[in-house]
Amino acid sequence: MNNSRMKIIDSDVHPWVNGDIEGLKPYMSKSWQMRFEGKRAILPDHPLRPPLAGATSIRRDTTPPSGGAGGSDPYFMREDHLDPHGIEYAILSSIQAGKLVSLPNTGEAITLARAFNDYFRDKWLDVDSRYRLAMCVAVHDPVEAAKEIRRIGGEQSIVAVYMPLINVLMGNRHYYPIYEAAEELGLPILIHPTGTEGAFQTSVAFAGGVPSSYIERHSCFPQIAMGNIASLLFEGVFVRFPKLKFLAAEFGFSWVPHMLWRVDQNWRQFRREVPWLEQEPSRYVLDHVRFTSQPLEEPEKDEYLIQILEMVHAERTILFSTDYPHWDTDYPETTFQRLPQAMKQRIFYDNAAELFGLNAAV
């Protein structure tokens, strides 16, 4: 079947709030407004910018006629993205909100996460029922983050918890309150590069040192997912929270076969360090972790991609995504064109529908 006629869930779409923190002020108390005003706080950009127009990752052609940044107008996104590409659901995660991990101040991060959530609930989710939100939490304070999950996570339009990561690996018990709340509400945890990696002391550090260009840091994003999945696995989060699922968005997946084999190999020799794992570690990963497709890797030969998809059990684990409105958008019409139909159905729709608890759009 032609991809343009398939039902599609896009698991990685990025809305934007014009005006940075200023644009969020209607969604915070007067006291917090004045607190941010008083220090001229901003959500800072990584200094290694993409060498693209405007040195931004947002495509120029997604700029709405109303003005503002690409991704900031839910009506234009509907017209520019959902309708022409037959997107039945778009999972919104705010990478702009992800930048709050650059802030060392816990109170500010909590306030901003809540304001982002309320902004999108107010401005986006009622515009079109195809929009579904991965609500943001400030992991600086997991108890407060859990309260935020319980405050709004039961709403039908909220389908995941986006955890912008600080430099503490995800298996750490620090995060348990977040996992408890997410599991209780049946919400998967979504992780995504925040764009702050390696640039701020509270943000995730890259392995080995500090990249020196955008191409270098962008190439290294998979490291972050690899380290965090190993942490989740061996620290026993998948055992401790058996119903909890995770989505690694925009970290690629061609490295996953390597990781599956390596964790199994290591388990055979070092099982006694993690006696709570009762089966091969790769099985936990395949049961609990999902990956988005974009930016789809382009191996030397087309058949290699099929082989990699088989190795990662793509019929269970891979979710189609566009990353609209960013520069490296993968559109359905030009992505995964040569896959077996059954695998396409799983990747373009079923895997996401199961993960996010989505049925056919009304």
Q: Applying CB under 8 A, which residues contact another protein?
A: 235-237, 239-240, 267-273, 275-276, 278-279
Q: Give the whole-angstrom CA distance, residue 334 versus residue 323.
A: 14
CB of 286 to another protein, least distance (A): 17
Of the pair 280, 350, the CB lying nearest another protein is at 280
Judge contact between 222 and 251, C-beta under 8 A. Answer: yes
Amino acid at 109: A
User: By C-beta, is 155 or 273 nearer to another protein?
Assistant: 273
Q: How far is the CB of 234 from another protein (least distance, A)?
A: 10
What share of residues in the chain are helix, strand, coil (percent, to 5)?
Answer: 45, 10, 40
Distances (CA, A) of 250 to 11, 67, 76, 219: 10, 27, 24, 11
Least spacing, CB of residue 244 vs another protein, in Å: 13
How many Cβ atoms are within 10 Å of 143's Cβ, its own excluded?
10
Helix or strand or coil: residue 92? strand
User: Biggest alpha carbon distance in the chain?
Assistant: 60
- Per-residue CA distances from 321 to 19, 92, 351 (Å): 27, 11, 12
Task: Report the amino acid identity of residue 30.
Answer: K
Length of the chain in terms of residues written? 362
Min dist CB 189 to another protein, Å, is: 17
* Identity of the residue, 241 or 251, whose beta carbon is nearer to another protein in the bound complex: 241
- Taking the least distance from each CB to another protein, the nearer of 272 and 301 is 272
Q: CB 258 → another protein: shortest distance, Å?
A: 19
Shortest CB 263 distance to another protein, Å: 13
Of the two residues 51 and 275, which places its CB atom closer to another protein in the complex?
275
